[in-house]
Structure formats: C-alpha cells, structure tokens
Amino acid sequence: MDFDAKKAVDATVKWISDWFKLNGPGCNAIIGISGGKDSSITAALLVQALGKERVIGIMMPNGEQSDMDMALLLTNHLGIESHVINIEAAYNGAVKDIECAIGELSKDSLINLAPRLRMATLYAVGQSRNGRVANTCNLSEDWVGYSTRYGDAAGDFSPISSFTTAEIRAMGRVLGVPEVLIEKVPSDGLSGMTDEDKLGFTYEVLDRYIRTGEIEDPKTKERIDMLHERNLFKLRYMDSFKYEG
C-alpha cells in the first residue's frame, strides 16, 4: 500500500488547526516531549498547524533520563517554549504512601505510575497556561494496547492515531525532523526494554499486518490478535451501565 506522507502531513495539520478553532481558539498545545519519534513528530505537526509560539513542550524525567539530550534536540530544533519538570519526588512520594497503605506495588504498577503522573503534570500545565493536551499514541501502539490508560493514552486530541510507526517516520522526514529522532529505537523509558522486546515482535511486522492482513508467523499473528482484542477497552469510552428503569 502506497503512503503519501506529504498528503498525510497536510491533512493532519489542517485537522489540528480546525480542531483548535472549535475546541480552543487561541489556546496553546501542551505536549510531553520524550525524545522519541511520536512526540517529536506530533510536536512538529503542532508547530506547522499553530505556530511555534502556541506549542509548549514539557520534559518529565523520573530522576535521571539517559536520552534527555534527544528531547532537548527536538525543542531546540522547533524553537518552542519548553520546561523540564522532574517527577521523581512525586513518584517516590506516591510509591511510599501507597505501599505504606497496601503493601508492595507490583512491577507493572510501578512502571505505569510514572506515565500517569506525567499526564497529571501535563494537565496541570494546560490548565495554568490556557492549554489543550496532545495525545501522541500512534495506530500501531493503540492496536496492541501499548500505552498506559490515563497515562500516555490520555489527552484532549489525538493527531497521529491513524498512522502506523512506518508512516509516522515518513511524515517526520516531510516535516524535517532530525533523522536521529525519527530512527530512535522505541522504548518506554521506564522498563529498560525496547518496545519490540516487550511486545515480542517488530513494528515492521505489526504495521504490515495492520495495513495488509499479511503475516508469516502464525504464533505472532495469534499474539497480535490476542493483544488487540484484550486491549480494545482502552480505545472506547468507559463502559457504563445504562439503567432503563
């Protein structure tokens, strides 16, 4: 399937511009900057749509972050306002208080707490700076639920959720995002593993399966289908009981 990255960029930029006209005329776009391709390319799209003066990038390390230089490279390249807000004290305080109440937290709880604190931070900035918070999840991640509910899966608007990882990279080149950011190995920055290590398959295999339905390994197909079905609830509005009495 051919993908016209320039056409996709132009359409996304227009959608962002139109969305802000309806849902926040004059508002700023607030975006968490991790140094990875998704936040980098989303930020570049926001600058194209709104102008750099209306985009605020927030870097939120949990203590030391090894790839902070990548995040700074992006904010300097785009010329946007940016701030570093270290969540370490909030994270450690929350872990301590929760564990005092209920005992030791699970590994996944510890991993997912950080993105949830980051999203709370972005909304605090947004409410203080006349902002709307950008979601930076792409289609490939959403397909298999590779996001934290009420963490990086949250946001007010989602510009890149229709695009696979390969398509996002192509759009980044159209936007002139530095190649080192486009090709940076995806990782959550929390578990010490790459996305593909955790998922058990490559984004190349996943992207091809999403777009064409083609996949060679039946075990990989089974795993992707299982993850997709198990995580569909993340893409819906919260299930709620409708009382008809």
pLDDT at 192: 66
Element (H, E) at 82: strand 81-84
pLDDT at 7: 98
pLDDT at 190: 57
Q: Rounded to whole angstroms, how far apart are CA atoms 55 and 30?
A: 6
pLDDT at 193: 72
Average pLDDT of the chain is: 94
Fold of 5-235: Rossmann fold (3.40.50)
CA dihedral 179, 185, 189, 193 (to 10 degrees): -170
Mean pLDDT of 38-58: 98
Quote the DSSP letter at residue 66.
T
Q: Are 56 and 131 in contact (CB under 8 A)?
A: yes
Under 8 Å CB-to-CB from 32, ≥6 apart: which residues?
A: 39, 57, 58, 59, 60, 118, 119, 122, 136, 152
Q: Rounded to whole angstroms, how far apart are CA atoms 48 and 71?
A: 18
pLDDT at 28: 98
Q: Rounded to whole angstroms, how far apart are CA atoms 118 and 103?
A: 23
Smallest CA-to-CA distance from 134 within 144, 122, 147, 145 is with: 122
Q: Are 34 and 130 in contact (CB under 8 A)?
A: no
pLDDT at 47: 98
pLDDT > 60? residue 3: yes
Mean pLDDT of 53-80: 95
Structure tokens at 11: 């359409």
pLDDT > 90? residue 14: yes
Q: Are 63 and 87 in contact (CB under 8 A)?
A: no
- Between residues 54 and 234, the one the model is more confident about: 54
* Tens-digit pLDDT profile for residues 153-207: 999 999 999 999 999 999 999 999 999 999 987 666 655 677 788 888 999 999 9
pLDDT at 239: 85
Q: Rounded to whole angstroms, how far apart are CA atoms 152 and 119?
A: 7
Tell me the domain boundaries of the chain. Answer: 5-235
